[in-house]
Amino acid sequence: MRALFNADAREAGADSGRALRHAYLSSEWRILPLLFGLWMLAWVDRANVAFAKLQMLSDLRFSETVYGFGAGLFFLGYVLLGVPSSMIQQRVGARKMISAIALGWGATSVAMIFVKSAGMFYALRFLLGAFEAGFYPGVILYLNQWFPTKRRTRNFSIFHSAAICSTVMVGLSGGFVLEHMSGLWGVAGWRWMFLLQAVPTMLLGCVAFAVLPDGPATAKWLSQTQRLLILNDIECDGKRFSPDATLPVPLLANPMVWVLAGIYFCILTANTALGFFMPTILHEAGFGGYSAIGNAIAAICVLGALGNIAFSTFASRYRDIRRHCAMASLVSVASLLVLVLVWHSSRPATFVTLVLALAGTGAGVSLFWQIPVRFLRGKAATLGVPLISSVANLAGFLTPWLTGYVRDISGTYTSGFVTAAGVQAIAAVILILGIPLVLRKQHAAAGMAGEEPA
């Protein structure tokens, strides 16, 4: 009789497991493509200025410093509005907030076609960052509601690869527009590029409003049983994979928040340097005209995205996400140091080092965002994630500005990229040594015996 009961229990468990896997799979196919597309377009609309730079600077008579400062102002708006946007999302829901954000940054991108002065360039870049500020931290929290740790690590690497793939879209479409549409109806090619690349954002923002649910509980494609299975699995996963959470202290007084913000700042320094200066690097490396540069960017970014996904998927099999994040950062550091030695002498070596650098920074970012949920819980995670993102994105403001300034006074980007590599190396050090140190101090202060975190 007991054997029969056990067999029935195993069969019921297997049925529940199959139902849960089906629920996750159907959710992934409905959520990830939409979020992937929006994140790709977000990066298109923030980073296409790097390709427009090839014409815009001479057309508007901007210096490298003006360009770098304007490019970086995006992140100042991002920093100031990140936390408020995420708080609004908690009140109004993901569907309304994500669609409103997309429509806002799309309209701002359209307005870039009217830029005639440095002041207007600065204002629109700031406004673009302000609109987009809540999207990335909002998606991080949104995915935490949908998927357990292992699935979330893989899914987030796919989502984040959209940032790398966006450069494919910028490169291919930007190269074509600058080469074939410059002067059409008396409009400069870079203005056409801003317009044509902003329209898909507006359309996808409307799609998000129509189809994106606020969470598993409101997903129309799930049965009531599947909703309960997902919610129970997420709750169990949180208890199983968050043993290293820090002690409950006020958010701004929590040293772990600032350590994590420092790590992400260091990773974004290298990521931003690559994002805003890759077309210029390829131009100086002798890759040819606009279309040739666009094709090279497309190939580099596809390979970099594949490297990011492969490394992140490998890392998701282990609990030591922190160490794998450090390894990815060191790959990027080594690649950037080699890059400054080869980009004026070898096109193949430039191509390979850019692929490795993008794969390293991409995997570093993807894996990093699996770390905060291990140390922050509840309200600390809800507000801590956008705070970390906002503070760290100061790197996005400082890096292009200082890199452009150094180029103006020295005639080379070498110092800027060596500095970016050094800053990202600091991220690896903090990941390996800094986080365990903070945990030990917090546990010691509370009279607790700390353990080595995963």
**CATH number, residue 120:** 1.20.1250.20
**If 0-12 CB within 10 Å is exposed, 13-18 middle and 19+ buried, where does residue 444 land?**
exposed
Q: Which of 27-31, 291-295, 304-308 bottoms out in mean pLDDT, i.e. has the lowest?
A: 291-295
pLDDT at 111: 87
pLDDT tens, position by position, 142-154: 887 888 877 777 7
Question: Does any domain span residue 7?
Answer: no
pTM of the model: 0.67
pLDDT tens, position by position, 12-34: 455 677 888 888 888 888 888 88
In the predicted model, is pLDDT for residue 270 greater than 50?
Answer: yes
Number of domains observed in the structure of the chain: 1
pLDDT at 375: 74
Question: Does any domain span residue 454?
Answer: no
Share of the chain above pLDDT 90, in %: 2
312 within 8 A of 157, measured Cβ to Cβ:
yes
pLDDT tens, position by position, 73-89: 777 777 777 777 777 77
pLDDT at 330: 92
446 within 8 A of 367, measured Cβ to Cβ:
no
- What long-range pairs does 229-235 form, CB within 8 A, spacing at least 24? 229/16, 229/19, 229/20, 229/23, 230/20, 230/23, 230/24, 230/27, 230/146, 233/20, 233/148, 234/144, 234/145, 234/146, 234/147, 234/148
Q: What is the mean pLDDT of residues 123-141?
A: 83
Longest CA–CA span in the chain (Å) reads 86
In eight-state DSSP terms, residue 319 is S
pLDDT at 178: 67
pLDDT at 28: 82
Q: Encode 24-53: b = buried (16+ Cβ within 10 Å), e = exposed.
A: beebbebbbeebbbbbbbbbbbbbbbbbbb
pLDDT at 426: 92
Q: What is the mean pLDDT of residues 359-380?
A: 78
440 within 8 A of 433, measured Cβ to Cβ:
no
53 within 8 A of 66, measured Cβ to Cβ:
no
In the predicted model, is pLDDT for residue 380 greater than 70?
Answer: no
pLDDT at 421: 87
3-state class (DSSP) for residue 30: helix
Type of residue at 230: I
Share of the chain above pLDDT 70, in %: 84
Which region holds residue 247: left if phi is over 0, alpha if psi is between -120 and 50, else beta? Answer: beta
CB-side exposure of 180: number of CA atoms within 13 Å? 7
How far apart are the C-alpha atoms of 419 and 416, rounded to whole Å?
Answer: 5
Structure tokens at 388: 């970390």
**If 0-12 CB within 10 Å is exposed, 13-18 middle and 19+ buried, where does residue 338 land?**
middle
Q: What is the mean pLDDT of residues 423-445?
A: 83
pLDDT at 429: 92
In the predicted model, is pLDDT for residue 452 greater than 50?
Answer: no
How far apart are the C-alpha atoms of 255 and 441, rounded to whole Å?
Answer: 10
Query: What one-character-per-residue DSSP string does 236-255 give?
Result: HHHHHH-TTPPP---GGG-H
pLDDT band (50, 70, 90) for residue 410:
confident
360 within 8 A of 336, measured Cβ to Cβ:
no
Q: Which of 375-384, 389-398, 435-444 bottoms out in mean pLDDT, i.e. has the lowest?
A: 375-384
How far apart are the C-alpha atoms of 366 and 427, rounded to whole Å?
Answer: 14
pLDDT band (50, 70, 90) for residue 449:
very low
Question: Does any domain span residue 453?
Answer: no
Structure tokens at 189: 């090619």
Question: Does any domain span residue 371?
Answer: yes
pLDDT at 4: 38
Q: What is the mean pLDDT of residues 441-450?
A: 60
Alpha helices per DSSP H over 134-212? 135-146, 149-180, 189-211
How far apart are the C-alpha atoms of 333 and 312, rounded to whole Å?
Answer: 18
pLDDT at 284: 80
Select the more confidently predicted residue: 355 or 283: 355
- Please report, for residues 76, 194, 201, the alpha-carbon distance to residue 101 in angstroms, rounded to integers and kept in the order given: 17, 18, 10
pLDDT at 451: 46
pLDDT band (50, 70, 90) for residue 7:
very low
Q: Which of 141-155, 262-276, 323-337, 435-449 bottoms out in mean pLDDT, i.e. has the lowest?
A: 435-449
Most confident among 254-258, 338-342, 418-422, 426-430 (mean pLDDT): 426-430
pLDDT band (50, 70, 90) for residue 43:
confident
pLDDT tens, position by position, 152-185: 777 777 787 777 677 677 666 766 776 667 667 7
20 within 8 A of 226, measured Cβ to Cβ:
yes
272 within 8 A of 396, measured Cβ to Cβ:
yes
pLDDT at 3: 47
pLDDT band (50, 70, 90) for residue 69:
confident
Domain membership of residue 35 as a residue range: 19-445
Structure tokens at 369: 């965002």
Nearest 10 degrees: CA dihedral of 398, 402, 405, 407? -130
pLDDT band (50, 70, 90) for residue 110:
confident
pLDDT at 52: 74
pLDDT tens, position by position, 315-367: 877 667 888 889 998 998 998 888 888 877 888 888 899 889 888 888 888 88
